Amino acid sequence: MRTLSGIQPSGTPHLGNYFGAIKQHVEVSRSLKQGDSAFFFIADYHALTTTHDAAKLRHQVRDVASTYVALGLDTDAAVLFRQSDVPEVTELMWLLSTVTGMGLLERAHSYKDKTARGLHASVGLFTYPILMAADIVAYDSDVVPVGEDQKQHIEMAQDMVAHFHSAYGVDVLRRPEPRLSPTPKIPGNDGHKMSKSYNNTIAIFAEGKDLKKQVNAIVTDSREPAEPKEPDTLNVFAILSLFLGDDEQSEWAARLRQGGVGYGDIKKEIMARMDARFGDARVRYRHLMTTDDGARELEGMLARGAARARAVARSTLARCYDAVGLDSAAARLRGA
C-alpha cells in the first residue's frame, strides 16, 4: 500500500497542520511494513496560487522541509521531495484536465472559500484540484492522509480517475482514498479552522515570547477562574486537549466543571506541553532553517527524494500517454 500527502509552503506550519496531517505522516514513515511505501512532498507549484514573492516562497519551502525533518520524518524509509522537482505532474494535469468538467471544479469548497475571502480567482486557483489529482495519481497512491478541508479534493481526484478510465476504456490509474486523522479540524485562536490564511495560528516551533503571544491570542470570555465552565464549549480547552491523553483530559474537564481553573492556567499548560512536545525538534528545526550545513542537508535529502519520486511519475505518465495515443511522448518518458 502506498501513502502520499503534500503540504503547501504557504506559511509557517502550525498546530492544525501538525495534528491534522504531519503527525500522521511522521508515524507512517516510521512504521512502514514490507511492501508499503510513503511519499510526502512540498506542494510548491500549488503555493504559486497564493504567493507571488520569490524570496518568501524559497523561505517557506525550506520551512516545510525543515519541519518534516525536525519532527522525525524517516527520509530513508519515506520519500520526501519538492513537487516542482517532478515537472511531469504538470503534464499529467493537462491530460486530466481534458476529462474534467467545469462543474466538478465549480463545486470545490476550497475555491469558493478562497474567492469569497477576496483572493483573486486566477485560472490556476480554479484548476488547483486537477494538479492535486495529478500529484496523487502520478505516484499510484492508495491512501492520502489529510485534514478535513482537503477531503473533497481527494474525492474530486477519484472522479477524475473514473472519467479518465471511462473516456479511454482502460484502467491505468489507481483510485485514492482519503484518510482523516483523529483530529481532522483543529480550531485556531479565534475558534475558526486554524489556517495560515486566517492569521489565527499557533506555529509548531514558536517559543518564548512569540509562543506566549500566539497562545495568549486564543480568544476566551471574561469569566473568573472560580466560575464553573463547560469544557466542550471552550476553544482554549480544545487546543489543550490535543496534548492530553484520555485520562488527563477527563481530569481537566472535571476540574473545569467544578470551578477553580482559569483560562490563564489552561494557556500556561498549553505552552508547557508545547515546550515538552516540540522542544527537542525546535533545536533541530533551527539548525535546518538557519545554518549552511542545514541547507545542504535538506538539499541532499530533497534531491534523493526527487529522483525516487520522478521515476514513479514518469512511468505512470507513460502509461497515460499510451492510453490517449501520444506514442512519442510515451517513448520520450521511457527514454527511447
Q: Choose among ligand ADP, ligand TRP, none what residue 136 binds, the Cβ cut-off being 5 to 8 Å by kind.
A: ligand TRP
Rounded to whole angstroms, how far apart are CA atoms 330 and 323?
10
User: Contact with ligand ADP (CB under 6 A): which of 51, 115, 152, 197?
Assistant: 197
215 binds ligand ADP (CB under 6 A): no
CB of 308 to ligand TRP, least distance (A): 17
User: Contact with ligand TRP (CB under 6 A): which of 8, 66, 67, 316?
Assistant: 8
User: Contact with ligand TRP (CB under 6 A): which of 63, 88, 91, 135?
Assistant: 135
User: Contact with ligand ADP (CB under 6 A): which of 114, 196, 229, 267?
Assistant: 196
Helices 54-70 and 292-324: angle between axes, nearest 10 degrees: 100
Q: Residue 252 to residues 191, 223, 227: CA-CA distances in angstroms? A: 20, 17, 14
Task: Considering only the stretches 79-87, 114-122, 146-154, 234-242, report the one whose residues sit in contact with ligand ADP under the rule CB under 6 A.
Answer: 146-154
Q: Choose among ligand ADP, ligand TRP, none what residue 17 binds, the Cβ cut-off being 5 to 8 Å by kind.
A: ligand ADP
Rounded to whole angstroms, how far apart are CA atoms 70 and 52?
27
| Catalytic residue chosen out of the listed positions 23, 56, 112, 193 | 193
Counting other chains too, the contacts that 228-233 makes at CB distance below 8 Å and 24 or more residues apart are: 228/256, 228/257, 228/258, 228/259, 229/256, 229/257, 229/259, 229/261, 230/256, 230/257, 231/256, 231/257
6 binds ligand TRP (CB under 6 A): yes
Number of residues that bind ligand ADP (CB under 6 A): 19
Rounded to whole angstroms, how far apart are CA atoms 200 and 65?
22
CB of 108 to ligand TRP, least distance (A): 11
CB of 11 to ligand ADP, least distance (A): 6
Q: Choose among ligand ADP, ligand TRP, none what residue 196 binds, the Cβ cut-off being 5 to 8 Å by kind.
A: ligand ADP
Q: Choose among ligand ADP, ligand TRP, none what residue 186 binds, the Cβ cut-off being 5 to 8 Å by kind.
A: ligand ADP
**b/e string for 12-46 if b means 16 or more Cβ within 10 A?**
bbbbbbbbbbbbbbbebbeeeeeeebbbbbbbbbb
176 binds ligand ADP (CB under 6 A): no
| Catalytic residue chosen out of the listed positions 23, 33, 185, 196 | 196
Residue closer to ligand TRP (CB basis): 12 or 249: 12
Residue closer to ligand ADP (CB basis): 193 or 229: 193
- Residue 114 is among the residues annotated as catalytic for this protein: yes
Residue type (1 letter), 22: I
- Residue 193 is among the residues annotated as catalytic for this protein: yes
Which cell goes with 147? 485534514
Q: Residue 90 to residues 22, 188, 211: CA-CA distances in angstroms? A: 25, 33, 39
- Residue 196 is among the residues annotated as catalytic for this protein: yes
- Write out the H or E segment, with its range, that includes residue 292: helix 292-324
DSSP string over 194-222:
P-GGGT---BTT--HHHHHHHHHTS----
Rounded to whole angstroms, how far apart are CA atoms 172 and 161?
9
Which x/- pattern, by CB under 6 A, does the window 139-168 give for ligand TRP?
A: -----x-x---x--x---------------
CB of 115 to ligand TRP, least distance (A): 15
186 binds ligand ADP (CB under 6 A): yes
Rounded to whole angstroms, how far apart are CA atoms 251 and 335?
63
Rounded to whole angstroms, how far apart are CA atoms 57 and 8?
10
Which cell goes with 67? 519541519
Residue showing the smallest CB distance to ligand ADP in the complex: 20
21 binds ligand ADP (CB under 6 A): yes
Given the rule CB under 6 A, which residues bind ligand ADP? 7-8, 10, 16-17, 20-21, 146-147, 149-150, 184-186, 193-197
Which residues are annotated as catalytic? 114, 193, 196
